[in-house]
Amino acid sequence: MKVNDKTEFEQLIEESVRTHGHLCPGQVLGVKMSMLGLREIGIEDPKGKDRKSLIVFVEIDRCATDAVQSVTGCSLGHRTLKFVDYGKMAATYVNLKTGKAVRVIAREDAREKAKDYFPDITDRYKAQLEAYKIMSDGELFEWGEVFVKLNPEDMPGRPLRRVRCDKCGEHVQDMREMNINGRTLCRLCAYGGYYAIEDTTPRK
């Protein structure tokens, strides 16, 4: 990735702040995490010539995820940003051309090390914010190569299939339906979901 000096790092931080709305320790972690991940998988220009060669999996719905999106250009709408709800400050960067994938996770002890960099700052979040900007990758993260299996239905592009749920009648794309006892069901009808229907009368 074409980001090697402080000026370019600061530019990425500014772009991330425009996406997220404010600057926080998570933004700094997300930017530096992405710089590291992209470098490790050989992606130099994620928003330009390499934009079709990258998929990123994020494991937390926190500030850092906005930074990851800002730096990489990946998004849910383009199907290049995948959210897996593990609750971990981690992301996996996949080079689709080479198949190389690297998972980067924030070190928990970085929070304590941040105090050593700015002992005079009593607000721990401000101390983390400033420290994360100058701490090394090794102090902030652990990372290593992983294998990521990508199925055709998970790739960007038009849906491979669109089917109707036998129970609720709603349509399911991208092969997310379930076949249970010979019935085609959406995952909500098969396992329950995040909402409960209050009014069974559909509005049109």
pTM for this entry: 0.89
Element of type H or E holding 18: helix 6-20
The mean pLDDT value for 151-175 works out to 93
Given a cut of 90, whether residue 179 has pLDDT beyond it is yes
Rounded Cα distance between 41 and 117, Å, is 30
Looking at residue 66, its amino acid is D
Q: Dig out the tokens for 141 from the structure.
A: 């993260």
Domains and CATH numbers, the chain: 6-152 (3.30.1330.130), 158-204 (no CATH)
Q: Which of 94-108, 120-134, 171-185 has the lowest mean pLDDT?
A: 120-134
Given a cut of 50, whether residue 2 has pLDDT beyond it is no
* Buried/exposed code over 107-120 (b: 16+ C-beta within 10 A; e: otherwise): eeebbeebeebbee
Count Cα atoms within 13 angstroms, Cβ side, for 204. Answer: 0
pLDDT of residue 3: 45
Q: What share of the chain is helix, strand, coil (3-state, %, to 5)?
A: 35, 20, 45
pLDDT of residue 185: 97
Rounded Cα distance between 204 and 202, Å, is 7
Rounded Cα distance between 74 and 46, Å, is 8
What are the tens digits of pLDDT across the range 19-57? 888 889 999 999 999 999 999 999 999 999 999 999 999
